[in-house]
Amino acid sequence: FFNYFARNGDYFIISKFLGMEQLGLYSRAYTLMNAVDRILGMVMQKVMFPTFSEIQNNKNIVIKVLDRSLGLLLPMLIFASIYCYIYSEAIITIILGKKWLDVIIPFQILVLGMTFRVGYRLLASCIKGIGKVYQNSFLQFIYMLSVIIGSYLLKDSGIIGISIAVCFALFVHFLFQSIYLIKKGYLYKKKIFEKIFFCFSIIS
């Protein structure tokens, strides 16, 4: 329930306050950004949730699986995000055509959140897999509020403002999930920052 409104709250705000034309532009940008999640994120969630469920009673193995999964996932996602940001105009021109160039800036903003969009599926699979279903629901509730309130507050800036709000909400959701797993001892703060720094250094 919370996830549904988190994923559609921005659409509702745009249709209500900005109109259907702006909604059409935004939906194209979001759909392109979300393509990686549809291909990778959903498949990963279906695989990782039963995996974490099976090993939930062995904390050390859960830590190793989560650590290795993040180590594999983050470099791919960060590289994909930067690539899509740099070549956003070419991507949109090839896929949508030149008449959709107004989508470029919202797409560039949203694609910066793509790492967190796919990454939070992995963390959610871990949280639910170790039996913390209600805690996961609470984090989804915060994510929903972040999307809806942020989109409403930045609606006067058009779809660019709402794209910023959604990107920020994705980051906050991933951050809160990470903090929860760190507090429970399933994730080490130093390691996750090292992984992100390592990814950016390689890509640079």
Per-residue pLDDT of the chain (204 residues; tens, 9 = 90+): 888 888 889 999 999 999 999 999 999 999 999 888 888 877 888 889 999 999 999 999 999 999 888 888 888 888 889 899 999 999 999 999 988 999 999 999 999 999 899 899 999 999 999 999 999 999 999 999 999 999 999 999 999 999 999 999 999 999 999 999 999 999 877 666 666 666 556 555
As a whole number of angstroms, the distance between CA 72 and CA 88 comes to 24
Structure-block tokens of residue 121: 């599926």
- Spatial contact of 32 and 95, defined as CB atoms under 8 Å apart: yes
As a whole number of angstroms, the distance between CA 13 and CA 155 comes to 8
DSSP 8-state code for residue 185: T
**Contacts with 121 (C-beta within 8 Å, 6 or more apart), sequence order:** 37, 41, 42, 44, 45
* Interaxial angle between packed helices 104-111 and 59-86, expressed in degrees from 0 to 180 and rounded to the nearest 10: 160
- Spatial contact of 173 and 181, defined as CB atoms under 8 Å apart: no
Q: Please give the pLDDT value at position 53.
A: 93
**Cα four-point dihedral sign 28, 160, 167, 85:** positive
